[in-house]
């Protein structure tokens, strides 16, 4: 994210680990980055409350704070509860990751959930013009309810397929190849991302239950006799009755 923003704005970045910063990105302390005009939180949901409390004293009036988490209900609540009233808030979720963005960002989606202030439209305009992103507006609840299915089921299917070792590589259909591509796109997601999708989304359990119920129905349909066979058995029984 810092790499893509650097050509457009001056970027300071803080990471508690020793990491190499992209070209054009200046390493800084948490206090320094918290004093910027725009502050973007890119931390696991589990760490967000502690980080917000640590940075809150350094946020200046009128600053804009955003997050980029995979779920929105819990992060939105944390931002509202932990950050001072003099900063604007937008919860965001780029619906793509490093694997997706490798071929360019044009047409990829990002969700904006305005929480406080009136700058969401300006942010959306910048994202469209600078990167060609398709910007969607939603409440945190709307985001999580839909993402529980669209994102949650993708990870669920991927998790199952990754456990099925030695899947065919040679005799495959186009549809199977596309499924494999989808699995590869989430294979290397950070543990925190998967945990947020599976546990921090308040609607994820409902989505899983629905999926498992439908899969059980499919299993029963596959194992049941076909309708022609059932009809033949009924006819035979009738003939000998």
| Dist. CA 184–CA 157, nearest whole Å | 11
**Tens digit of pLDDT for each residue in 200-232?**
999 999 999 999 999 998 888 888 766 566 556
Q: Provide the pLDDT for residue 186.
A: 81
- String of DSSP letters for 160-197: HHHHS-S--SSS--HHHHHHHHHHHHHHT--HHHHHII
Encode 166-193: b = buried (16+ Cβ within 10 Å), e = exposed.
eeeeeeeeeeeeebbeebebbeebeebb
**Tens digit of pLDDT for each residue in 138-196?**
999 999 999 999 999 988 999 899 888 788 999 999 999 999 988 888 887 777 788 88
**Tens digit of pLDDT for each residue in 12-36?**
999 988 788 888 999 999 999 999 9
Using only C-alpha atoms, what is the Rg of the chain?
24
Q: Which residues contact 222 (CB under 8 A, 6 or more apart)?
A: none
- For 48, half-sphere exposure in the C-beta direction (CA atoms, 13 angstrom radius) is 30
Encode 97-124: b = buried (16+ Cβ within 10 Å), e = exposed.
eeeeeeeebeebebbbbbbbeebbeebb
Band (100; pLDDT cuts 50, 70, 90) = confident
The pTM assigned to this predicted structure is: 0.85
> Would the pLDDT of 125 be above 90?
yes
Band (111; pLDDT cuts 50, 70, 90) = very high
Q: Provide the pLDDT for residue 101.
A: 83
Q: Which residues contact 138 (CB under 8 A, 6 or more apart)?
A: 72, 111, 112, 113, 146
Band (74; pLDDT cuts 50, 70, 90) = very high
Nearest residue to 59 (alpha-carbon basis) of 35, 89, 91: 35
**Neighbouring C-beta atoms of residue 215, cutoff 10 Å:** 11
In the predicted model, what is the mean pLDDT of the chain? 90
Residue 226: left (phi > 0), alpha (psi -120 to 50), or beta? beta
Structure tokens belonging to residue 64: 């804009």
Domains of the chain listed by start with CATH number:
2-138 (3.40.50.720), 149-223 (no CATH)
| Dist. CA 125–CA 120, nearest whole Å | 9
Band (59; pLDDT cuts 50, 70, 90) = very high
> Would the pLDDT of 241 be above 60?
no
Q: Provide the pLDDT for residue 236.
A: 66
**What average pLDDT score do residues 120-139 get?**
97
Q: Provide the pLDDT for residue 238.
A: 60
| Dist. CA 38–CA 81, nearest whole Å | 19
| Dist. CA 68–CA 200, nearest whole Å | 14
């Amino acid at each position: 994210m810092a790499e893509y923003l650097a050509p457009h704005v001056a970027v300071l970045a803080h990471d508690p680990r020793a990491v190499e910063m992209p070209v054009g990105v200046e390493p800084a302390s948490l206090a320094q980055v918290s004093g910027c005009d725009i502050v973007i939180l890119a931390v696991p949901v589990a760490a967000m409350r502690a980080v917000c409390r640590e940075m809150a004293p350094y946020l200046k009036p009128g600053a804009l704070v955003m997050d980029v988490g995979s779920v929105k209900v819990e992060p939105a609540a944390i931002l509202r509860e932990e950050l001072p009233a003099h900063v604007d808030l937008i919860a965001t979720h780029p619906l793509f990751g490093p694997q997706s963005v490798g071929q360019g960002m044009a047409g990829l989606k990002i969700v904006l959930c305005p929480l406080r202030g009136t700058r969401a439209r300006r942010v959306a305009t910048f994202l469209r013009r600078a990167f060609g992103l398709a910007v969607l507006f939603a409440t945190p609840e709307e985001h999580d309810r839909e993402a529980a299915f669209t994102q949650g089921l993708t990870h669920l299917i991927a998790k199952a397929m990754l456990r099925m070792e030695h899947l065919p590589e040679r005799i495959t259909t186009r549809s199977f190849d596309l499924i494999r591509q989808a699995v590869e796109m989430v294979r290397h997601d950070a543990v925190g991302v998967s945990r947020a999708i599976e546990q921090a989304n308040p609607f994820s359990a409902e989505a899983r239950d629905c999926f498992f119920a439908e899969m059980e129905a499919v299993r029963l349909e596959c194992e049941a006799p076909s309708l022609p066979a059932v009809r033949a058995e009924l006819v035979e029984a009738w003939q000998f009755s």
